[in-house]
Amino acid sequence: MSAWTVERAAIELLRCEDERTDREPITDEWPKLDVATAYAVQDATLRLRLERGENLVGIKLGLTSRAKQERMGISSPLVAWLTDAMELPPGDPVPQDRLIHPRVEPEIVFVMGRRLAGPGVTTATALAAVESVMGGAEVIDSRFRDFRFRLPDVIADNASSAAYVTGSVAMDPRELDLSLEAVLVEVDGQVVDSATGAAVQGHPASALALAANELGARGLAIEPGWIVLTGGMTDAVFAPPGASIACHFTRLGPVFVSGGAHASR
Ligand code: OOG
Ligand code: MG
């Protein structure tokens, strides 16, 4: 097999996504894949998505809460791209027919009002650039078998992104204390987990600042109108066909995600 390159890794990860097949971590075969090269792979996957007609709509953060970091065994947050192909209209089920092993996690979502460019972005300047905040749920679907990966793998894989849904309540972030905004995660009517916004880097706007500084180091900025998913507040829950998942936020309201119907035999 030929040697791994940025381009080859990007094509391989999009192939896994399109063909709905998982694989072993790329670092098993390419142990020298480092974080900077992994972001180059991620950027190459974005270019391929744009070439096939998707539009960039924002960014997501991953591994910003201790619950997520402990589950995945990685203590470093990361940033990835969101395109319009990942938008899940409210009420639509998890698109099982195109996903490998979807999981759902509750997230606080920002819509940007002003441009935010690192370095030097603080929590306060980040919050001041936000236009509105919503509750949300992300559907993640790692292209790596059993969600087993190292940091460079998951960066290259666009942070396991698959789909996201936002709630119907949009608030001015200055009207509520996001560190105290709680979420209850229910699966089939049973509460399985809970957290507050403080789980996300102390405050979701700190995660936003982190993203602005991370992108700034790569010469990029967060643009007005962009959506920013600030990272799972709790561990993710499985979302098989037949599951009903609800994320109830204190003031941002509920976000419902259905696993969809069982496949007929
Ligand atoms: C990596 C993606 C993490 C989050 O919100 O922490 C993420 C994974 O858990 O597969 O989206
Ligand atoms: Mg997430």
Residue 108: name the closest of 171, 22, 188, 45 by CA. 171
**CA–CA dist 61, 7 (Å, integer):** 23
* pLDDT tens readout for residues 98-156: 999 999 999 999 999 999 999 999 999 999 999 999 999 999 999 999 999 999 999 99
* pLDDT tens readout for residues 174-225: 999 999 999 999 999 999 999 999 999 999 999 999 999 999 999 999 999 9
Full-model pTM? 0.97
Cα angle at 239 between 68 and 265, to 5 degrees? 155
The alpha carbon of 33 and the centre of ligand 2 are apart by a number of angstroms equal to 23
204 Cβ partners below 8 Å, 6+ apart? 108, 110, 133, 178, 197, 230, 231
Q: What is the pLDDT of residue 263?
A: 65
Phi and psi at residue 183, to the nearest 5°: -135, 140
162 and 218 in contact (C-beta within 8 Å)?
no
- Answer yes or no: is the C-beta of 138 below 6 A from any ligand 1 atom: yes
246 and 186 in contact (C-beta within 8 Å)?
yes
Is residue 1 scored above 80 in pLDDT? Answer: no
What is the separation of C-alpha 7 from the centre of its chain, rounded to a whole number of angstroms?
23
- Answer yes or no: is the C-beta of 159 below 6 A from any ligand 1 atom: yes
Best residue among 22, 140, 228 to mutate for probing ligand 1, ranked by most atoms within 8 Å of CB: 140
